[in-house]
Amino acid sequence: MATVVIRKSSYDYNTLRPAFFELMNTIGGSLITPDTRVLIKPNLLSPATPQQAVLTHPHIVKATVEYVLHRGAHPQVSDSPAMGSFEKILKISGIGDAVKESDVICKEFERSASIDIGEPFRTIEIAEDAINADIVINLPKLKTHSQMLLTLGVKNMFGCIIGYRKPEWHLRTGVNRALFAKLLVLTYQRINPSFTILDGILAMEGEGPGSGGIPRALGVLIGSRDAHAVDSTVCRMLRLDPERLLTVKIARDMGLIDDKIEIVGHLPKITDFKFPVVVPLVYGPRILHGFIRKHLLQRPVCDNNTCRACEECINICPAGAISLPAKMIRFDYNRCIRCYCCIEVCPYGALHASESFAGRFVRRAIARYF
């Protein structure tokens, strides 16, 4: 049976540090022994301030570094951002300042190793630092995600796939969310972090995971040796049917989740959390899938008044479906695979997913009659 520990906290470091240390001790932090190499993997998606709730908070990274040092081990903080330089993210997020007095290596993932994660993907490239570390500490942020509903503990490990290979995997899994979720689950299983501590102190609701989401104070740290148990516990806290979070559903189907979870501490009940609008990407009779995909699926759209023509969405799009004629974003929906990477990286919140009136009408009709 997995144990999940819940601790109430704010980001005030005098409150957070003891809460974090106590949580780690409770879930088995003594596993970190002197002279071991410990990889700390926060969510460092893109340059963002702590108030935007896009990234793992700098004080949680700092507390983790100090805990690892307290155990006599050697910490390294790494990720592979979707957008912006690693150095810029350290600066804007405040993580660089938070850990500058500590004996810690902060560096972007650079080299990959070819790792067999099993069928149907077989060999994928995963950051060597994550594979070779003695211990991995996973520090996800509790955020919504316009493609996968939420991004929690299991999904945070996808950041160990370096740079351009992330959108490449989006392209290969196409519009099949379940297949993408399986990739996330198998990647997590292969890296197998020893600890997952979720930053739910200032979470994000609405159209996350980037600047389009809305910060939402929940005031909790949720920790476990098992990220599946953390993710299932978040579903329970947010009153979300776990079948709707595909990484949980697939892990359950694969027998990776023990539904008997011991919860230590008070789990809040949150009944009004705002989830993003996520509609099925493939529905209806198979014969209509081509037509539905082209004309009726939820699609990324741009608010050209908010867009600053920075081209980050163009750079990340794995399908080459975005152009910028006359400083106005244009989508080629025939090419677009609906991975929503563009929405994820837009630094100005100019993109969101939208379903056309015809799409909504046809989807409901199909759901009723087939």
Minimum distance, C-beta of residue 237 to ligand SF4, in the bound complex (Å): 29
**Sign (positive or negative) of CA dihedral 342, 307, 92, 314:** positive
d(CA 151, CA 208): 9
Between 23 and 329, CB nearer to ligand SF4:
329
- Taking CB atoms within 8 Å and a gap of at least 24, the contacts of 234-242 are 234/142, 234/150, 234/152, 234/198, 234/200, 236/267, 237/267, 237/268, 237/269, 237/270, 238/270, 238/273, 239/269, 239/270, 239/271, 239/273, 240/149, 240/150, 240/273, 240/275
Q: Is 181 helix (H, G, I), strand (E, B) or coil?
A: helix
Question: What does the CA dihedral 263, 268, 274, 275 come to, rounded to 10 degrees?
Answer: 0
Among 164, 311, 330, 364, binds ligand SF4 (CB under 6 A): 311
Torsions phi, psi of 187, nearest 5?
-65, -45
Between 39 and 321, CB nearer to ligand SF4:
321
Name the residue type at position 341.
Answer: C
Count of chain residues binding ligand SF4 (CB under 6 A): 28
Minimum distance, C-beta of residue 297 to ligand SF4, in the bound complex (Å): 10
Which CA distances in Å does 302 have to 227, 241, 252? 34, 31, 36
Among 307, 352, 362, 363, binds ligand SF4 (CB under 6 A): 307
Between 142 and 329, CB nearer to ligand SF4:
329
Between 7 and 143, CB nearer to ligand SF4:
143
87 binding ligand SF4? (CB under 6 A): no
CB-facing half-sphere around the CA of 233: CA atoms within 13 A:
32
Window 313-352: residues binding ligand SF4 (CB under 6 A): 313, 316-319, 321-322, 329, 331, 336-342, 346, 348, 350-351
Minimum distance, C-beta of residue 342 to ligand SF4, in the bound complex (Å): 3
Between 144 and 194, CB nearer to ligand SF4:
144
Minimum distance, C-beta of residue 316 to ligand SF4, in the bound complex (Å): 6
> CA angle, 187 as apex, 139 and 162 as ends, to 5°?
75
44 binding ligand SF4? (CB under 6 A): no
Among 312, 352, 362, 363, binds ligand SF4 (CB under 6 A): 312
d(CA 129, CA 125): 12
Minimum distance, C-beta of residue 171 to ligand SF4, in the bound complex (Å): 8
Minimum distance, C-beta of residue 169 to ligand SF4, in the bound complex (Å): 12
Beta carbons of 99 and 1 less than 8 angstroms apart: no
Between 115 and 337, CB nearer to ligand SF4:
337
Minimum distance, C-beta of residue 190 to ligand SF4, in the bound complex (Å): 25
Between 243 and 311, CB nearer to ligand SF4:
311
Minimum distance, C-beta of residue 60 to ligand SF4, in the bound complex (Å): 27
String of DSSP letters for 87-120: HHHHHHHSHHHHHTTSS-EE-----EEEEE--TT
Binding site for ligand SF4 (CB under 6 A): 300, 302, 307-313, 316-319, 321-322, 329, 331, 336-342, 346, 348, 350-351
